[in-house]
Amino acid sequence: MITSYEDAERYFGRKADKNRKIYNGMLKTYFYQFQGPKPPRPKK
Within-domain flag for 27: yes
Domain coverage including residue 15: 2-33
The pTM of this model reads: 0.69
pLDDT tens sequence across 6-35: 888 888 888 999 999 999 888 999 999 988
Residue 20 lies in a domain: yes
In a domain, 6, yes or no: yes
In a domain, 39, yes or no: no
Residue 44 lies in a domain: no
Q: Is residue 40 part of a domain?
A: no
- Which DSSP string corresponds to the chain? -EES-TTHHHHHTS--SEEEEEEETTEEEEEEE---PPPPPPP-
pLDDT recorded at residue 29: 93
Q: Is residue 29 a part of any domain in this protein?
A: yes
Q: How many domains does the chain have?
A: 1
